[in-house]
Amino acid sequence: MSRDGWEAVIGLEIHVQLQTRTKMFCRCANRYGDPPNTNVCQVCLAHPGVLPVPNRAAVHQAIRVGMALGCTIPSWSQFHRKNYFYPDNPKAYQISQYDSPLCGEGVFHVPAPGGAFEVRLERAHIEEDAAKMIHAGGAGGRLTGSASSVVDFNRAGTPLLEIVTRPDLHSGEDARRFLNLLRATIVAIGASDADMEKGSLRCDANVSVRRVGDTALGTKTELKNMNSFRYLERGINAEIERQIGVLEAGDRVRQATMHYDVATGTVHVLRSKEEANDYRYFPEPDLVPLEPDAALLDELRAALAELPAARIERFVGQYGLPEPIAEALGTGSELARWFEELARLVGDGRLAANWTLGDFSAHLNAAGVVPAESPVTPARMAGLVRLVESGAVGTAAAKQVFAGLVDDPDASAEAIVEARGLGQIGDEAALAAVVDEVVAGNPAQVAQFRAGKVQLLGFFTGQVMRQTGGRAEPKTVQRLLRERLDGS
Amino acid sequence: MALTEQEIRHVARLARLGLRDDEVERLGAELSSILAHVSAISALDLDDVPPTSHPLDLTNVLADDEPRPCLSTEEALLNAPDPAPEGFRVPPIGA
């Protein structure tokens, strides 16, 4: 998207809340949405003398994510303290990882309509989340202008996985596509619900630009907390444009933390970053190292399901689907499962893809349900597809039959067609009677047609369809109409 | 090894300690002597010794992911200097 002569270079830092029953270092519940300060204890409130104990399930989830993203899993890893003062961090340090993360380098493969691309991952490490600050007095709970703040420690100490990419992305669209597939992968293995709106998936972007052909990286800015995929894409593109504008005006890009304003679509400086943070990392003395052994890694690897990237490529090969269609069907596990069952039942992948992405997806969106919650099972849908393919039901009536499948969960497609009289009328004598009636009832249009306004054929067809409730077989209708209209 | 006054003030600021000028001088000398004591280890040939972050010969000390009773909100707020009904009230944060 960037302008001629410029190349954008983008790396992402992604935080994912791991799905566990308890927190990272204590056994308080890890649950979103509870009343403030109800899942807290001496450990996550940082009372003196307490000791953290890491959550086995969180460590395993983190390793599974690392494996699914193509990261190496080092045989030795340890925790570090990251020191800073802020009310959301009562120990005055966050337990994190520094130079020995749980998951090491990897390469994540992203299928894309314009050709697949690869994003190198630098690392993925475990850390604890901070408490939540509720800012009283500031507009909309914002910090600016607040009279005081209240701290809710329910989130304090819940497990996070921070995933850091190399600067391998070059546009907002690539970043969105990458993050969407990364999210789908994490959801597919059940490691997190990775919901940007709830904050269980958060993404910051490091953005810089350079002249095409340059090898050195330009000065980067950090774009913070974009809370949807759309804003991630737009925010990055706005920042790329801003930086190109600055450089073309002969100025220089200053290192800063930037904020994307959704309302105006512009980017502005949140705080300048001239002085580097000094977090004084050092090994966490309260926690001993992690050494995942081969048996554990084998066990975790064996339990990984088919991942979205592999599934998308399989759909292209197995069903002969175009890449964008395979991507739409294969990214989410539930829709993929529904589609494959329908494809098996009707024995035609392309046909199944059309129905899955057409009426069925529209119904899911309208009803706000996931495939497993829909009354339209692949088996019931297959009944309708067969009726349409055999010509027993027309495409217009098929929409009504589909609505019937949604409204009446116990009825088969055949039963709905029968009960509602939606079968296609192919009988020539029956259709001829309707056609004659329409021709006789519209003398003005007949005259115009005969004077050369042939596009009126559509008008006549529509009239016949209306009279038959959309059930007339269109080819026969058009032939009969032509015979009547051309004939005299 | 003697720390510069600038280094002492930087470390004090990171620790949010407000030091008077005479304290900067006194604590600077004390901190320098502690560092000098620890740096005796540099005299040894330790090329083949990996950095030791833990003296214990233990790894993989992990807990099962089973919830245990926590504190009630009332108990949690007992030590709060300025409790609000829903949590710990803190002064506004300077941006």
A295 close to B (CB below 8 A): no
Strand partners, A103: A124
Nearest Cβ partner for B89 among A28, A35, A150: A150
One CATH from 1.10.20, 1.20.1250, 1.10.3470, 1.25.40 for B5-42: 1.10.20
Strand partners, A269: A258
Contact B70 A40 (CB under 8 A): yes
- The ipTM assigned to this model is 0.90
Contacts of A137 in chain B (CB under 8 A): 92
DSSP summary character for residue A454: G
Confidence at residue A142, expressed as pLDDT on a 0 to 100 scale? 59
A345 close to B (CB below 8 A): no
pLDDT tens for residues B17-30? 999 999 999 999 99
A39 close to B (CB below 8 A): yes
A151 close to B (CB below 8 A): yes
Contacts of A22 in chain B (CB under 8 A): 65-68
Angstroms from A149 CA to nearest CA on chain B = 5
Strand partners, A135: A149
Best probe of the A interface among B61, B71, B72, B77, by most A CBs < 10 A, is B71
Read off the pLDDT band of A487 (50, 70, 90): low
Contact A152 B90 (CB under 8 A): no
Contact B65 A55 (CB under 8 A): yes
Read off the pLDDT band of B58 (50, 70, 90): very high
pLDDT tens for residues A90-117? 999 999 999 999 999 999 999 888 888 9
Name, of A131-140, A239-248, B7-16, the range with top average pLDDT.
Answer: A239-248
Report the mean per-residue pLDDT for chain A: 91
Contacts of A292 in chain B (CB under 8 A): 60
Confidence at residue A476, expressed as pLDDT on a 0 to 100 scale? 85
Alpha helix locations (H) across A126-215? 172-188
pLDDT tens for residues A378-401? 999 999 999 998 888 888 788 889
Best probe of the B interface among A19, A40, A281, by most B CBs < 10 A, is A40
Contact B86 A27 (CB under 8 A): no
A35 close to B (CB below 8 A): yes
Nearest Cβ partner for B93 among A42, A78, A143: A143
DSSP summary character for residue A77: B
The answer to whether the beta carbons of residues A44 and A153 sit under 8 Å apart is yes
Residues 6 or more apart whose Cβ sits within 8 Å of residue A192: A16, A17, A18, A19, A61, A65, A161, A186, A200, A201
Best probe of the B interface among A27, A42, A296, by most B CBs < 10 A, is A27
DSSP class per residue in A316-349? HHHH---HHHHHHHHSSHHHHHHHHHHHHHHT-H
Nearest Cβ partner for B63 among A41, A56, A133: A56
Burial class (CB in 10 A: 0-12, 13-18, 19+), A394: buried
Over residues A328-337, mean pLDDT: 91
A20 close to B (CB below 8 A): yes
Residue with tokens 């992402």: A12
Read off the pLDDT band of B95 (50, 70, 90): very low
Lowest average pLDDT, out of A22-36, A128-142, A239-253, A341-355, goes to A128-142
List the domain boundaries for chain B: 5-42
With a CB-CB cutoff of 8 Å, which residues 196-215 of chain A face chain B?
none
Contact B86 A55 (CB under 8 A): no
Confidence at residue A1, expressed as pLDDT on a 0 to 100 scale? 45
A217 close to B (CB below 8 A): no
Percent of chain A residues topping a pLDDT of 90 = 66
The CATH-assigned architecture of domain A428-487 is Orthogonal Bundle (1.10)
List the domain boundaries for chain A: 6-299, 307-420, 428-487
Nearest Cβ partner for B92 among A39, A147, A152: A147
